[in-house]
Amino acid sequence: MKDTDCIDFLQWALPRLHLRWRGFRRVRRQVCKRISRRMAELGLTDASSYRDYLECHDDEWARLDGLCWISISRFYRDRGVYDFLGQEVLPALIANRHRGARELWAWSVGCASGEEPYGLALVWHFVLGPAHPNLDLRIVATDVDPVLLERARRACYPQGTLKELPLVWRDRAFEERNGRLCLRAVFRGAVRFRRQDLRLARPKEGFDLVLCRNLAFTYFEEGVQRKILERIGGALRPGGALVLGRHERLPEGAAGFAPWSAGHRVYRRAA
């Protein structure tokens, strides 16, 4: 499928899935390739015939939705954010935790192959853990894509995915297996993976920290973003932190969150 045909198709289809074209513009090639593959499977030769197919097959929309899950991620993505979490956010959350609490809880939403939750576990292990031996960080990591979750549980990565991670952490936390870097078991124990669609549900736990980066506030339309924000607000303890992606912002008129660091897109839930 030609790029221009794919663009026309996505501009027609994405709003019907409550997704926004603006978020997909730069990463459309991943989606276009998948759509081309799906069209070939169906024996369809052009985008307009796939459009006709969608008009007559309601269940194909769920399939198309699945083709739009962007899987791009990497360890320590936008490293300044992770440094800020280690130096400011986590220490503040530790200071404000309920007296006697032995655990902090974090939720990584749209965790892809585990790069984000494991990255957070490494920040805890190397930056905060040594000074807080009686405190643990528990991380619930959710994603809609079962294939990515399976990869996350295996925790083996191509080298390029780790290039932003501090070198000494990489050397201590990973071991090489068959040309891939695999996270040692001791760094995996804090993370629990679950399949969950953020548009439909959230984990039952209460959280001190939520990372919702490069997902809802990029790809979902604004009405859906508001609902998601409410869902996240329901999961976050008062005073807890919400971290967005570097190019994301909260939807217009969002209430209940105050900027913690505008530069790093960190917000604090109103107490």
Number of residues that bind ligand SAM (CB under 6 A): 21
* Cβ proximity to ligand SAM, 44 vs 198, nearer residue: 198
Distances, alpha carbon 127 to alpha carbons 90, 93, 116, 133, in Å? 10, 14, 16, 12
Which of 38-46, 111-119, 163-171, 249-257 is the region at the interface with ligand SAM (rule: CB under 6 A)?
111-119
Q: Which is nearer to ligand SAM, 197 or 222 (CB)?
A: 197
Supply the minimum distance, in Å, between the C-beta of residue 181 and ligand SAM. 17
State how far the Cα of 109 lies from the Cα of 122, in Å rounded to an integer: 17
- Contact region with ligand SAM (CB under 6 A), list: 13-21, 173-181, 192-200, 255-263: 192-200
Question: Of residues 18-57, which lie at the interface with ligand SAM (CB under 6 A)?
Answer: none
Residue 41 buriedness (CB in 10 A; 0-12 / 13-18 / 19+): exposed
**Shortest gap between Cβ of 27 and ligand SAM (angstroms)?**
8
CB of 244 to ligand SAM, least distance (A): 9
Of 13, 32, 112, 232, the one binding ligand SAM (CB under 6 A) is 112
Q: Are the C-beta atoms of 128 and 137 separated by less than 8 Å?
A: yes
Please, which residue, 52 or 61, has the CB nearer to ligand SAM? 61
* Interface mask toward ligand SAM for 134-173; x: CB under 6 A: ---------xxx--x-------------------------
Task: Mark the segment that binds ligand SAM (CB under 6 A) among 65-73, 91-99, 129-137, 182-190.
Answer: 65-73
Binders of ligand SAM in range 203-222 (CB under 6 A): 213-215
* 77 lies in the binding site for ligand SAM (CB under 6 A): yes
261 binds ligand SAM (CB under 6 A): no
- List residues near ligand SAM by CB under 6 A: 69-73, 77, 110, 112, 115-116, 143-145, 148, 197-199, 213-215, 245
